[in-house]
Structure 1
Amino acid sequence: MESSDVELDFQRSVQAVLRELNTPNPALQRNQGMWRWSLHKKVERNPGKSSVLVRILLRELEKAESEDVRHVIVPLLLTLMCVLTKATSITEELYHRAYTFCTRLLTLPAPYSTVALDCAIRLKTEMAVPGTLYQRTVIAEQNLMSELYPYQERVFLFVDPELVSASVCSALLLEIQTAQEQQTPEACMRHVVCHALEAALGDDCHTGALNRKLQATSRRVLEYYFHAVVAAIEQVANEDNPSRLGHLERLEEIYCSLLGPATTRRRCVGDFLQDRRPSIPLPGPCITFHLWTDQEQLWKELVLFLRPRSQLRLSVDLEALDLQGLRLDWGLARVSTDSGIERDLPVGSDELPAAPSSEMERAALQRKGGIKKRVWPPDFSMPGSWDGPPGLHRRTGRPSGDGGQLPGVSRVHTARVLVLGDDRMVGRLAQAYYRLRKRETRKFCLTPRLSLQLYYIPVLAPQDPEASGKPELGELASFLGQADPWYESTVNTLCPAILKLAEMPPCLDTSRPVDPFILDVITYYVRMGTQPVYFQLYKVKIFTNLSHDPTEDIFLTELKVTIQDSKGPKEGSSPRRRGAAEGPGAELSVCYQKALLSHRPREVIVSLRATELVLKAIPAGDTEVSGFSHCTSPNAPGCSCLHVSVTEVVKSSNLAGRSFTTAANTFRTSSIQVQSQDQRRLTLWLDKDSRRTFRDVVRFEAGPCPEPCSRAQKSKMAGLNSHRQETETKVAKPNSLLMPINTFSGIIQ
């Protein structure tokens, strides 16, 4: 294909993506997301033309900036970064142009400045040492061991088998297994070596011959060259003033030791012009598939991710944990079985360099001592200067500094927890997240070393449009789609594709390479979705007997209250006045704090007869997407607001007798208390989940869930309450617990 034809093809694809963002049409929803995916596939099939697409994307970004069309900036910028991570033939002029554009966006409000800053940091690293982003992505996602870049990531895919059909679970598991069988650790190391050498040497690199040479070498020789390339790049990337000339010389030495002298290489490069620039794929992340059947399953999987059984024994505080019946997906979770001896190569082993230079000698791995076990203090409390919610720091493409770390602790693990399902599944995730945070206040073993990122892909079973009374199970996905148009176009459209995949017959031929659309979109989402939307968790105290302690639970999206059938008075109780229980519904006493923009406390107490109450934490309309219910910053004020809908019974008398009608009333509150005043009990449903039903309730209290506190923090707060002024007491109260779900841009104002 001629260069002009390639550029025209890329231009048409980019314009199709822009049309999809500018004119969303419900009739075209089944094709949404395909344009972006097909654009990336075109680049993979023709990697030598990546610079053409980069120029087109930069031109469209600069046009959007000049015309102030901001809603297309984040999609185009993330598409640009995805191309730059894989490409090897980008000129310094294009890198500098992209970096300059990102720095100009820093003057815009969030989320544009936030995304631009993240991209600028990555671009600065790539400009200094080309190929760094690709290398670090593969090392982290594939859990390849490297002392110079020890960061590791894993995607935990959780599916509730009671909410998602068995056919969907089987289809997803089969697609994950088929894709990961084709990206072995050896293949990933070959990709890293080839990509680094091609990024440094450019047209002088004969990638086809290099790849064939690496395929013919043994595992130990391949590891030697892999670690030599990693050392060459990381040592230069960590320098304050990196030398491009010295970096090029080191990689040329590695290249010559593989294919021979540089003069021979340059003489023969014309003979292999046709296969000189094959596509070097970027392997997908390591994904483990889990059926969510245990309340503590999330915490257990994170423990095993931090401490694989084949490498470390559990610490004292974890050995007491009963892990019986815990099954690890060893087929999907890649755990290194290496001995740790990486310089131990036999004399005369095939194709080792005869006389490596001093730089390569330092890059070679040596025998290391045993892994030292760290003993944690029993009362290790959370530091007060922690930057943002514990364990929820964004990854910016380069190791973070020591300012946000605990002494002697390195946060080298990133767990990307991805849940599939509807609002009920996200409610279960909120429960697990709360338990994990509460457990961390007692042991504090995961938070210092683990960056936890949460993702959500809606999978909604088709519902009968004529069916009435069933709850809407996609409210959270609709809210995220309204808040982030790129999430709506890329992620929300996966639901029909996943259901269609489940209906297709399985392909048992694993010899052919697969080109999975669903896994590619999941990979794009977990890599580029770095901007969280924080959701307030709400705690509810449930009383079935006012003389007993309440049962506590949390909810994220909805709390629904209905009236049970009336019960007769208990023996010994005084009879109520006649007619008190007549008519539908029940007499309720409602006390709530009215939600005001001024955040001034205003308590309202009312008595009414109602048949139903619905407490919603998700805004219903487009105008409330950036209202008070959710925020993009954990420290933003006014993020908690419940929307309460009451179906009130109105009694009227006329000549025909007494009649009852219903009226819907709505109000906003930050906290609420409801108590039944007659013999009729209440039934509570949390997060639309029938498994989380509470019956025979006489009273409940709902409000923002506070951050879990340790015993030391609770005693400190108690001391403040007894010895200090009221203003200081308010400062000592814990913050509300917010759960982040990652999107591409957060909430676009």
Structure 2
Amino acid sequence: METKANPGVTDAMESDLLRSVHAILLELDGHHTASQFNRGMLRWTLHKKIERNPTNNSTLVKIAVKELERAERSDNKLHIIPLLHTLMYAIVQAVYIPDDLYKRVYEFCKRLLTLPQPYCTVGLSHAVRVKSERLTPGVLYQRMVLSEQNIKNELYQYHEKVFVFADPALFSMEMSAALSSEIEPASPCKSHMSYMCDVIVHTMQAALGDSCDAPALEHMLKVKGQDMIKLCFREVVATVEVCAEEAGGNHSLYTGRLQQLYRTIVNSANPGKELAKFTRSTSPNELLSSDSVLLEMPDPVSDLTSSELLRLSILSTDSGIERDLPPSELPAVSEEPSAGRSEQEQGRLFRRGGIKMKPSVSDGVALLQDTLEETRASPPGKLQRRSGSHELPGGRQQKLYTARIVVMGDDRIVGRLAKAYYSLRKREARRPFLTQKLSLQIYYVPVTHEEQSSSSTKENTAGSDLCQLAAYLGRVDPWYENNIRSLCHMIPKLAKMKSFSGKSSEANPFLADVISYYVRMGGQPVHFCIYSVKIAFTCLTKEHVEDVFVTQLQVDIPECMIFSGTVKGKGTLTRKKNITENFGAVMTISYKKASLSNREVEKGLSLQTSGLVMKAIPSCETEDLDCLIVSFSEGSKAKAGVDGKIRTCNIKIGTLEQKPFTVCLDQDYRRIFKNVASIEVSPCLEPGYLIQKMRNSRFSVSDQEDIGLTKYMSKALPLPINTFAGIIQ
């Protein structure tokens, strides 16, 4: 198809879009005058402009490619991934993009493969999607609508659902009601028929360009009955999916098929009968037939390699039912029982006997490991924290169902999420069920109250930062910083404005749009180590407790003051002198020192302290070692002769004086343990690995030796949280 200019876009609109893109880039550089509370509004405003006029998407694609090429020439990597996501979001929603522009985008994405992580990963993912959209225009939008709206069809059966969880300790009743009214109406209660019409019109526009009269097509679809809309929708989905699955599909044949369907819908005198005749005459199966008059595609069998032909030759079409077998293959039976059967009994279906296979333990562990490979992280304490996935686009069969979990809150809800995630893994390790069918994607939207961050309460430690994990994600991914972390203080303000005004925000659902953009474009996970803590109490009759944390563990020891002597004064009064203050208790600490040299050194010390904090999230980029940083309270550093910090992944702590202490996990007042005698902290091990190791222990001489599947299984269990880019070095 020849390249055509888009007459719907004026020079004024193109200049306006260019100014919006430049404003976003200035905001990334930190030169924009917008306050911290308004960050992310520029991106939302830009997408609203192209949403109101979808023909502007191709212009935005052209502007984004030009800015990407400029960033490439100036080696400005800060702009690359935000511009890539802006470009891809426009491509998915675009109604028509010229072929030369597709080629320009595809060539740029391929050049990113020479760059380090995460640019090569994001570039490869976008290159695969751009190539698919170029060969089959409209396929990305169609699949997005089908999966998000759970529209059932035979050819594309992938579905996804978004679950939003808010921390009840952070959200008041008024705030929860305001947010619910903000999110729920933002997703219009459109019927499946409306979405089907949207898919038909968008696919026709994307494939046919200016030759498609969208208003006329939409009008004809609205006047038809539901049966005809479903019929036309099935035909469009079948055409798109069959051509998309064909490697190097014929673009002209694809557009020709849709062109004929478009003319049948718009120009026929009797649309209902003509459309039914058209779709019945060319079923989806006939699209691959060599006898089809309209689509003369090559014979798929002739293009197969020898190995693929061998695999095809052993495919079985046997249903296992005797009635379906040809007469020559029917099993020999005596005539005596057959003669005694009635005609009704002979007409019944009888299944031949077979072997009922019981899933083995190895199969269960293999299924579990298959899901773990997508989020496998490096061993804690060995290397710096990593992000991204080993999975190549299209390299593994995609699971039919995807659950997108969006948690809203601070570090406390992340800790509770990690605990639930660990419980799910333990249950799946014993008997895989969800992991075989479901892909789990986790997203984090930070939320804090200004009052809580500035006040000191029993529930929150004074001066503590409750969004350490979000701050880290914002440092390593600037696009996450601008679009998601900016919601940290914005959401409470939006909720207050909503509750005070009482007005509906259906016209401009900002929060719902941001969450939708996040779950659609945030596909690069950052892996956080989940740490396991074993807690022993001073009461010997109380059982030990095992728990997990992600961001922080805090130990507090009750203060104690000891006087070393007194001096009597005149009269009955006594005057205290030579007072020695003794706070806290003497603690024994044994740990393995973590370093970049991959050498673990056993160390131990004892010191008097009133408390310590173990932080798993680095406070700056120079300390991005995937380990715990243990800091002691003031006063104990000089006495101990250490710098006050320990870097480790395995540590044991106890008291010599049998003085109990208190442990708080992830700064959550709901997860405080009192009267603790000792704790032991180590990386949380993958439950599937533990179960397999226990089964293999009878064949191993040493418990430390990994044999069988355990050699290839991930030992540590990471918590993957999706961002837009992962970690940008």
Q: TM-score range by the shorter chain?
A: 0.7 to 0.9
Change (3 A) 1:534 1:137: same
Offset of 1:49 from its aligned partner? Answer: 2.9
Q: Does 1:454 align with 2:442?
A: yes
Which amino acid in the other structure matches residue 719 of structure 1? R
Q: Deviations over 1:524-562 (max 9, x none)?
A: 110110001000000000001586652100000000001
User: 1:482 aligns to what?
Assistant: 475
Which stretch has the larger CA shift, 455-464 or 105-114?
A: 455-464
Gaps of 5+ in 2: 1-7, 288-318, 320-355, 377-387, 562-579
Cα separation, 2, equivalents of 1:664 and 1:218: 77
Cα separation, 2, equivalents of 1:529 and 1:610: 43
Native 8 Å contact 1:566 1:679 kept in 2 = no
User: 1:136 aligns to what?
Assistant: 143
Change (3 A) 1:148 1:395: farther
Cα separation, 2, equivalents of 1:711 and 1:621: 34
Q: Does 1:382 align with 2:365?
A: yes
User: 1:12 aligns to what?
Assistant: 19
Offset of 1:188 from its aligned partner? Answer: 1.0
Which stretch has the larger CA shift, 107-116 or 52-61?
A: 52-61
Q: Does 1:674 align with 2:657?
A: no
Native 8 Å contact 1:556 1:617 kept in 2 = yes
Determine which of 195, 209, 219 is the counterpart of 1:202.
209
Cα separation, 1, equivalents of 2:228 and 2:692: 54
Map of 1:626-637 to 2, 5 A cutoff? 627-629=624-626
- SS of 1:698 mapped into structure 2: strand
Change (3 A) 1:464 1:106: same
Offset of 1:484 from its aligned partner? Answer: 0.3
Cα separation, 1, equivalents of 2:245 and 2:726: 31
Q: Does 1:551 align with 2:545?
A: yes
Offset of 1:167 from its aligned partner? Answer: 2.4
User: 2:487 aligns to what?
Assistant: 494
Map of 1:207-356 to 2, 5 A cutoff? 207-261=214-268, 353-356=275-278
Q: Does 1:43 align with 2:78?
A: no
Native 8 Å contact 2:408 2:444 kept in 1 = yes
> RMSD in angstroms over aligned alpha carbons?
3.4
Map of 1:150-165 to 2, 5 A cutoff? 150-165=157-172
Cα separation, 1, equivalents of 2:433 and 2:697: 26
User: 2:455 aligns to what?
Assistant: 467
Native 8 Å contact 2:57 2:90 kept in 1 = yes
Cα separation, 2, equivalents of 1:250 and 1:508: 51
Q: Does 1:361 align with 2:283?
A: yes
> Which protein has the larger Cα radius of gyration, Structure 1 or Structure 2?
2
- SS of 1:560 mapped into structure 2: strand
Map of 1:466-615 to 2, 5 A cutoff? 467-468=455-456, 469-470=461-462, 471-505=464-498, 514-545=507-538, 550-564=544-558, 583-615=582-614
Change (3 A) 1:691 1:253: same
- SS of 1:115 mapped into structure 2: helix
Change (3 A) 1:591 1:514: same
User: 1:685 aligns to what?
Assistant: 664
User: 1:619 aligns to what?
Assistant: 618
Which amino acid in the other structure matches residue 356 of structure 1? F
Q: Deviations over 1:378-415 (max 9, x none)?
A: 744222895672575989999845xx46xxxx711111
Native 8 Å contact 1:164 1:459 kept in 2 = no
Offset of 1:165 from its aligned partner? Answer: 2.1
Offset of 1:519 from its aligned partner? Answer: 1.0
Which stretch has the larger CA shift, 441-450 or 714-723?
A: 714-723
Which stretch has the larger CA shift, 449-458 or 197-206?
A: 197-206
User: 2:677 aligns to what?
Assistant: 698
Q: Deviations over 1:602-652 (max 9, x none)?
A: 11111111101100001112333xx212xxxxxxxxxxx100011165599
Native 8 Å contact 2:448 2:488 kept in 1 = yes
Which stretch has the larger CA shift, 587-596 or 181-190?
A: 181-190
Offset of 1:723 from its aligned partner? Answer: 5.4
- SS of 2:275 mapped into structure 1: coil
User: 1:413 aligns to what?
Assistant: 401
User: 1:746 aligns to what?
Assistant: 726
Native 8 Å contact 1:221 1:351 kept in 2 = no
Cα separation, 2, equivalents of 1:686 and 1:723: 34
Cα separation, 1, equivalents of 2:608 and 2:704: 41
User: 1:633 aligns to what?
Assistant: none
Which stretch has the larger CA shift, 121-130 or 596-605?
A: 596-605
Offset of 1:472 from its aligned partner? Answer: 1.4
Cα separation, 1, equivalents of 2:390 and 2:153: 19
Native 8 Å contact 2:592 2:601 kept in 1 = yes
- SS of 1:543 mapped into structure 2: strand
Instruction: Give the count of matched residue pairs.
Output: 618
Which stretch has the larger CA shift, 194-203 or 732-741?
A: 732-741
Cα separation, 2, equivalents of 1:563 and 1:590: 15
* TM-score of the aligned structures, taking structure 1 as reference length: 0.76
Change (3 A) 1:731 1:197: closer
Which amino acid in the other structure matches residue 691 of structure 1? R
Cα separation, 1, equivalents of 2:684 and 2:690: 17
Change (3 A) 1:465 1:725: closer
Cα separation, 1, equivalents of 2:12 and 2:581: 79
Native 8 Å contact 1:594 1:604 kept in 2 = yes
Native 8 Å contact 1:228 1:364 kept in 2 = no
Q: Does 1:714 align with 2:693?
A: yes
- SS of 1:355 mapped into structure 2: helix
Which amino acid in the other structure matches residue 681 of structure 1? P
Offset of 1:442 from its aligned partner? Answer: 1.0
Gaps of 5+ in 1: 265-347, 568-580, 630-640, 653-659
Which stretch has the larger CA shift, 707-716 or 526-535?
A: 707-716
Cα separation, 1, equivalents of 2:163 and 2:513: 16
Cα separation, 2, equivalents of 1:236 and 1:664: 64
Offset of 1:350 from its aligned partner? Answer: 5.8
Cα separation, 1, equivalents of 2:479 and 2:281: 45
* TM-score of the aligned structures, taking structure 2 as reference length: 0.78
- SS of 1:41 mapped into structure 2: helix
Which stretch has the larger CA shift, 238-247 or 591-600?
A: 238-247
Change (3 A) 1:732 1:209: closer
Cα separation, 2, equivalents of 1:72 and 1:604: 45
Q: Does 1:645 align with 2:631?
A: yes
Which amino acid in the other structure matches residue 466 of structure 2? L
Change (3 A) 1:349 1:391: farther
Change (3 A) 1:156 1:398: farther
Cα separation, 2, equivalents of 1:29 and 1:214: 46
Q: Does 1:737 align with 2:717?
A: yes
Which amino acid in the other structure matches residue 537 of structure 1? I
Determine which of 195, 200, 211 is the counterpart of 1:193.
200
Native 8 Å contact 2:389 2:525 kept in 1 = no
Q: Deviations over 1:188-222 (max 9, x none)?
A: 11100110111122112111122122223333322
Change (3 A) 1:431 1:585: same
Cα separation, 2, equivalents of 1:127 and 1:705: 45
Which stretch has the larger CA shift, 494-503 or 718-727?
A: 718-727
User: 2:348 aligns to what?
Assistant: none
Cα separation, 2, equivalents of 1:241 and 1:679: 73
Native 8 Å contact 2:411 2:467 kept in 1 = yes
Cα separation, 1, equivalents of 2:16 and 2:179: 32
Cα separation, 1, equivalents of 2:662 and 2:556: 5
Which stretch has the larger CA shift, 59-68 or 546-555?
A: 546-555
User: 2:644 aligns to what?
Assistant: 665
Which amino acid in the other structure matches residue 383 of structure 1? A
